[in-house]
Structure 1
Amino acid sequence: MSLRHAVLGLLAERPASGYDLLGRFQTSLVNVWPATQSQLYTELNRLADAGLVAVSAEGPRGRKEYTLTDEGRRELLHWLVEVEPQRVRRSDGLLRVFFLNQVAPEQARTYMEREGTTAVEYHQELAELERSVDWDEGDLSFYGRLALEWGLRFTRMQEEWAQWASERIAERTTERPPQP
């Protein structure tokens, strides 16, 4: 997925300013594809230059409202149905787990416990987001809720896995004599 398609997808629902889009990113896509203000405004300019979005209204202080063009809608639909999703298999965190034998068992357990704590904290952020969103019957709410549920379940699994791994490290430490 790219920021380009995230913006096109949000604009497919309704026209919005960069400020409005940033708010929608923070309340709907934060779990899927977060974006900063500078990234978002840069992408809006690129999309406008490419003819995928157009300025549909201008307001005070240079505020611009963008709308999806027909070409932008075709690009979004092409990406949705014809482009195979990237299945990212790289994980900095799991790569570290693979090499935890290079540190003392207590350091390995501390790392795993920190991973669990991080998962709990992120789960709490997502749960708060779920409570703060004014869910409606619209499609964006429905499918956004499905994506949010993935995040809630994934963070819960990460927490359980980190706890399990920490326990396995502790068991292994008591079963095996220290290596020279």
Structure 2
Amino acid sequence: MSLRHALLGLLYEGPASGYDLMKLFEISLDNVWAATQSQLYGELGRLAAAGLIEVVAEGPRGRKEYALTEPGLAELRHWLTEVEPEQVRRSDMLLRVFFLGTVDPAQAGAYLARQGAIAAEQHERLSEIRPLTEGPEQISIYGRLALEWGLRASVMQQEWAEWAAREIETFAAAAATRDTRTTQDAQDAQDAQDAQDGQDGQDGQSAQDEQDEQGGHTADAEHPDLGRETPEAGRATADR
């Protein structure tokens, strides 16, 4: 969609001034296409130069009233029936969601809460203009279809934002539980290793003591007179 075709479509309902068209944009096209005053007046000048619209009346302070021409109507119908709508695949909001894992869960939840609030404000704003689309005019009938899309989309976005926030809370809680369990498992493993090391030390000392004791018994068995004075040695000592 382009601004020029939006203006051609609005002028199909009848002649209007730039001021009137700006008001129609704010009221009926708020949820599908935004335009600033400078953009709108600039496009009106280009459409008039191209012969797609014409000035049919002029008023005080430079006020001009524009009407759709036959070439303008042909361009509008060509755009509606033969030009495929641009499939927009860009969403700054969803791109940020994709990378929310780079911030902590509380910040991610706050971001989603803001998106839900924005959707709620959008729904409230669209609800206020709903009565303007309830007339029998053609622009009201088809405008109601576009308005309903905006209303339903804003409700869906609110529900999605609330669901996404709950998902993050659940994920964060599960991650915290896993971290606690991992820390406890590591501590239990360390305690078990320390206990095993202590037991191995005790077993090693007991084995060494037993080996030393066995070594002493072996020495006594091999040298039974070692350290014991013989009778002959005793008499020699006495004679001296």
Cα distance in 1, alignment partners of residues 88 and 164 from structure 2? 23
Match of 2:13 in 1: 13
Query: 1:11-30: CA deviations, max 9, x gaps?
Result: 11101110111111111111
Cα distance in 2, alignment partners of residues 89 and 153 from structure 1? 20
The SS at the match of 1:88 is: coil
The SS at the match of 1:87 is: coil
Aligned-pair identity (%): 60
Match of 2:45 in 1: 45
Match of 1:25 in 2: 25
Q: CA deviation at 1:135?
A: 3.1
TM-score by length of 2: 0.72
Cα distance in 1, alignment partners of residues 44 and 142 from structure 2? 23
Cα distance in 1, alignment partners of residues 34 and 134 from structure 2? 20
1:68 alignment partner AA: L
Are 2:133 and 2:141, in contact at CA under 8 Å, matched by a contact in 1? no
Between stretches 39-48 and 27-36, larger displacement belongs to 27-36
Structure 1 residues 134 and 173: alpha-carbon distance in aligned structure 2, compared to 1, 3 A threshold: closer
Query: 1:149-173: CA deviations, max 9, x gaps?
Result: 0000000000000000000000000
Match of 1:115 in 2: 115
Cα distance in 2, alignment partners of residues 94 and 127 from structure 1? 25
Cα distance in 1, alignment partners of residues 62 and 55 from structure 2? 11
Question: Which segments of structure 1 move beyond 2 Å, counting only runs of 4 or more?
Answer: none
Match of 1:152 in 2: 151
Say what the alpha-carbon RMSD is for the aligned residues: 1.1
TM-score by length of 1: 0.95
Matches within 5 A, 1:101-140: 101-131=101-131, 133=132, 135-140=134-139
Query: 1:41-73: CA deviations, max 9, x gaps?
Result: 000001011111010111122111101111111
Q: CA deviation at 1:134?
A: 6.3
Matches within 5 A, 1:51-66: 51-66=51-66
Query: 1:93-127: CA deviations, max 9, x gaps?
Result: 00000000000011111111111111111111111
1:176 alignment partner AA: A
Match of 1:80 in 2: 80
| Alignment: residue pair count | 177
Q: CA deviation at 1:83?
A: 0.1
Between stretches 49-58 and 158-167, larger displacement belongs to 49-58
Match of 1:97 in 2: 97
1:171 alignment partner AA: T
The SS at the match of 2:23 is: helix
Cα distance in 2, alignment partners of residues 20 and 43 from structure 1? 15
1:75 alignment partner AA: E
Please tell me whether Structure 1 or Structure 2 has the larger radius of gyration of its CA atoms: 2
1:49 alignment partner AA: A
The SS at the match of 1:13 is: coil
Match of 1:166 in 2: 165
Cα distance in 2, alignment partners of residues 44 and 73 from structure 1? 15
The SS at the match of 1:23 is: helix
Are 2:57 and 2:65, in contact at CA under 8 Å, matched by a contact in 1? yes
